[in-house]
């Protein structure tokens, strides 16, 4: 069984009982796929940022469970290893729970594989639906700013926030596209710029600290971002730097859109204060590649996500619809309610 999408950029490929992961650490210099044939390799690839982006992480974890089942491995141990690879992206745990319900009920490797392939295809379809819904909110002639990478590289194809930008561009709605560099992994500079170039969408990159200035001196109509977890009240965790863009957007009259599939909502969490925030190694800030950029012994605080309060968000777009001015009641109307 082979996963298949029509996306021009594919972060994950399931071929010949192996998971092929486009190594995003090497982009844009090299396009090289890492092959995973066991759950441990998938877990390390997630932790080491070979694959990143909440939806793509979830899909990769699902295939990791398939690999474990095909090898006759301890599925509970494989599930625990994959679950520990990244703490903030709820799609990871959603995917493992979906596969977990099957294998605990006795499903074999073939059944798990079919489910993982279905999840992959569903994500692509959801992204295309979000692209259409999000684009419909953007008036022709608009200028937009995005943060991090939320395109096909972060998903099963097309993208979330970048998918909306892609759809809006195809519909002739955009006059200008801006994106951040997104320190410290430079997902904007390395990945978003690469995807936009491949799609022949003209864009300009800004330094992470230039967002408020950009909004002051040039007309920006929307900031459009993705999400790694959304609480029941609409508070949203996303790449560090998102919150400051939301604050700047509100100060400058710029609308703020979050784009994420329904699997990103964690209705068990009432608000954003309960979202776990991953902190990563200090070396990501004190070094650039093999070169030190800070004095030895520099102390570092390196959270890689922040939480944007729902009050700063104008619209959350998911495949089920648009949640305008999100709060607990509006989220429940579109996504559902906790039991």
pLDDT digits (tens, 9 = 90+) for 154-170: 999 999 999 999 999 99
In angstroms, the CA 162 to CA 328 distance is: 26
Residue 337 has pLDDT above 70, yes or no: no
Residue with tokens 């992959």: 120
Q: Which domains does the chain have, with CATH numbers?
A: 12-127 (1.20.120.420), 131-335 (3.40.50.10470)
Catalytic positions are: 228
Report strand pairing: 174-180 vs 229-231: unpaired
Average pLDDT of 13-42?
Answer: 96
pTM for the full predicted model: 0.92
pLDDT digits (tens, 9 = 90+) for 238-255: 999 999 999 999 999 999
Report strand pairing: 174-180 vs 204-206: parallel
């Amino acid at each position: 069984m082979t996963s298949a999408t029509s996306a021009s950029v594919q972060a994950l490929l399931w071929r010949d009982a192996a998971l092929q992961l486009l190594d995003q650490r090497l982009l844009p210099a090299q396009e090289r796929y890492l092959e995973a044939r066991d759950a441990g390799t998938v877990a390390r690839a997630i932790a080491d940022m070979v694959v990143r982006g909440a939806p793509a992480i979830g899909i990769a974890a699902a295939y990791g469970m398939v690999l474990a089942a095909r090898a006759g491995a301890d599925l509970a141990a494989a599930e625990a290893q994959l679950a520990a690879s990244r703490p903030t992206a709820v799609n990871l745990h959603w995917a493992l729970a979906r596969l977990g319900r099957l294998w605990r009920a006795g499903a074999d490797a073939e059944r798990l594989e079919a489910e993982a392939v279905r999840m992959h295809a569903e994500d692509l379809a959801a992204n295309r639906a979000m692209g259409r819904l999000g684009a419909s909110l953007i008036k022709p002639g608009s200028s937009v700013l995005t943060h991090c990478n939320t395109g096909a590289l972060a998903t099963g194809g097309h993208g979330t926030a970048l998918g909306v930008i892609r759809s809006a561009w195809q519909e002739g709605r955009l006059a200008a596209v801006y994106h951040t560099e997104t320190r410290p992994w430079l997902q904007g500079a390395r990945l978003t710029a690469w995807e936009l170039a491949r799609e022949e969408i003209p864009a300009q990159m800004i330094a992470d600290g230039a967002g408020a200035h950009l909004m002051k001196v040039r007309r920006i109509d929307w900031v459009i971002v993705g999400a790694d977890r959304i609480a029941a009240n609409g508070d949203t965790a996303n790449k560090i730097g998102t919150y400051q863009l939301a604050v700047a957007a509100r100060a400058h009259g710029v609308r703020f859109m979050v784009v994420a599939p329904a699997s990103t909502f964690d209705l068990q969490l009432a608000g954003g204060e309960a979202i776990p925030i991953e902190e990563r190694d200090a070396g990501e800030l004190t070094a650039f590649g093999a070169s030190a950029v800070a004095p030895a012994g520099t102390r570092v605080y390196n959270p890689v996500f922040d939480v944007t309060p729902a009050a700063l968000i104008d619209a959350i777009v998911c495949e089920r619809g648009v949640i305008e001015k999100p709060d607990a009641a509006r989220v429940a109307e579109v996504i559902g309610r906790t039991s």
